[in-house]
Amino acid sequence: MSATLTGTDAGSAPDPGSGADSAGRSRTSGRVRRGWTEHGLVFTAPFLLVYALFLVWPLLYGVRISFSDYNLAGINSKFIGLDNYTEAFKDPLVWQSLWHTVEFTLMSTPPLVVLGLAMALIAHQLRFVRWLWRLSYFAPFVLPSAVVAVIWTWIFEPGFGLIDGTFKSTIGWLTDSQYAMASVVLTTVWWTVGFNFLLYLAALQGIPAQLYEAAELDGAGPWKRLWKITIPMLKRTTGLVVVLQLIASLKIFDQIYMMTGGGPDNSTRPVLEYMYDVGFTGYRTGYASAVSYILFVLIVVVSLVQLRLGRNREEG
């Protein structure tokens, strides 16, 4: 009887080793699941997948075809090394379009920064129907680029447009190379200044009111408070606005393409439109990709230099 009981007990008793292994595996898997949940990977995985599929993969694929003579039809393409980049640096049309891009950036960035700040100061000080001023300043920014282009093309129409009709003139604002770039800059300033206005307005609301009260008690007037308190407190926001504006201006395409088509005589064609013409009209996709990565490096360098200069000013 005792032997039977002993054998039964021995046969039915769980293996201590296997129980420990099961418990260890359970704890390990539990920690892994908790780690995924704690680090948010479960929630960010869909975004990371879409990000890799639609941004990282096209970026890497573009680098690959920039070293080939790939065409839009995708036939008879072969690896050609740095030939596309060498040709791009020797192509006068690339340098011409880059200059037009830089010209647009230099003409549009200062007024967009200064006007954005001025509009934010006005809206911040107003006490009567403040919401109407804010809506009026920001409303153009939400318009699609096609709508903006159509509106301003009619405004600039020679002879009977709003400007020529008002001043009784016949200036070809979009057809004369002397005025075309300035016309596009004016359109862009009207359209996009609302975004900078919003950034500055948010920054102004974050400045402690006690600073202005103390300065006023010390006898500081409005202009002195502006230069000694407001402008210094907005340094970080100004740096952000300048960097964002430089990047956006270097990527100019929509309004120029729809308003002037790069003309007259390619006098307003930016580098993005040149890439479009080469890649989708000339079917030289590999060469257009090489030009695009030259522009990408230029934007990165300009952004890093601006951020470095801003950091040095803050440290100084």
Domain 88-315 has CATH 1.10.3720.10: yes
Which pLDDT does position 198 carry in this prediction? 94
Evaluate if residue 195 carries a pLDDT over 50: yes
Is-contact 293 89, C-beta < 8 A? Answer: no
Q: Which of 66-80, 138-152, 166-180, 233-247 has the lowest mean pLDDT?
A: 66-80
Tell me the sheet residues that pair with 68: 79
24-43, pLDDT tens digit by residue? Answer: 555 555 555 555 555 677 77
For the residues 179-188, what does the mean pLDDT come to? 94
Q: Which two tokens stand for residue 195?
A: 């975004």
CB atoms closer than 10 angstroms to residue 179: 15
For the residues 183-200, what does the mean pLDDT come to? 95
Evaluate if residue 196 carries a pLDDT over 80: yes
Which pLDDT does position 35 carry in this prediction? 54
Average pLDDT over all residues of the chain: 84
283-301, pLDDT tens digit by residue? Answer: 899 999 999 999 999 888 8
For a pLDDT cut of 70, what percent of the chain falls above it?
A: 86
